[in-house]
Chain A
Amino acid sequence: MSALTIDKSGPTRKVKYGSMSRDRTWALRWSYFFLTLFAIVALVPPIYMLITSLKSSAEISAATNPWWVYHPTLSNYKELLTSNQYLRFFWNSAMVSVIVVAVTMLISVPAAFALSRMRFWGSATLATGVFLTYLIPDSLLFIPLFKMFALFGDYTGIQLINRWYVLLLLYPTLTVPFATWIMIGYFASIPKELDEAAIIDGASWFQTLTRIFIPVALPGLIAATIFAFTVSWAQFLYPLVFTTSTDQLVLPVGITTTLIKGDVFNWGQIMTGALLGAAPPLLIYAFLMDYYIAGLTAGATKG
Chain B
Amino acid sequence: MAEVSLRKVVKRYDDVEAVRGIDLDIADHEFVVLVGPSGCGKSTTLRMIAGLEDITDGDITIGGDVVNDVPPKDRDIAMVFQNYALYPHMTVAENMSFGLRLKHYPKAEIKSRVTEAARMLDITDLIDRKPKQLSGGQRQRVAMGRAIVRNPKVFLFDEPLSNLDAKLRVQMRIEIKKVHQKVRTTTVYVTHDQVEAMTLADRVVVMNKGKIEQIGTPNELYHSPATRFVAGFIGSPAMNFLPCRLEESGGKLNVRLTDRLSFPLPPARAARYQNLPRSEKLLLGLRPEHLTEANGHAAPGVENFETVLDVTEPMGMETLVYFTLEGTYVCGRVNPSAGARDGAPLRLAVDLNNMHLLNEGTGAVL
| Chain A interface (Cβ < 8 Å from any Cβ of B) | 191, 193-194, 196-203, 207, 211-212, 215-216, 218
Contacts and interface: CB of A to CB of B under 8 A. Distances in A.
B258 to A, nearest CB: 53
Contacts of B88: 216
A199 B87 contact: no
B52 A196 contact: yes
Given A193-B83, A196-B79, A216-B89, A201 B102 contact: yes
A191 B84 CA distance: 10
B102 A202 contact: yes
A211 B51 CA distance: 21
Contacts of B51: 200
Summarize B's interface: helix, strand, loop or mixed: loop
Contacts of B77: 200
A201 B86 CA distance: 12
A201 B52 contact: no
Nearest to A201: B99
B220 to A, nearest CB: 32
A198 B102 CA distance: 10
A194 B89 CA distance: 12
A70 B233 CA distance: 89
Contact of A194 (B52, B72, B85, B103): B85
Interface residues of B, number: 23
Contacts of A200: 50-52, 72-73, 77-79, 99
A233 B137 CA distance: 49
A201 B98 contact: yes
B79 A197 contact: yes
A194 B102 contact: no
21 contacts: A193-B81, A193-B83, A193-B85, A194-B85, A196-B52, A197-B79, A197-B87, A199-B71, A199-B72, A200-B50, A200-B51, A200-B52, A200-B73, A200-B78, A200-B79, A201-B98, A202-B102, A203-B73, A207-B102, A211-B98, A212-B87
A201 B150 CA distance: 8
Nearest to A212: B87
Given A200-B77, A218-B89, 17 more contacts: A191-B83, A193-B83, A194-B85, A196-B50, A196-B79, A197-B79, A197-B81, A197-B85, A197-B86, A200-B73, A200-B78, A200-B99, A201-B150, A202-B103, A203-B98, A212-B87, A216-B87
Contacts of B82: 193
A31 to B, nearest CB: 32
B200 to A, nearest CB: 21
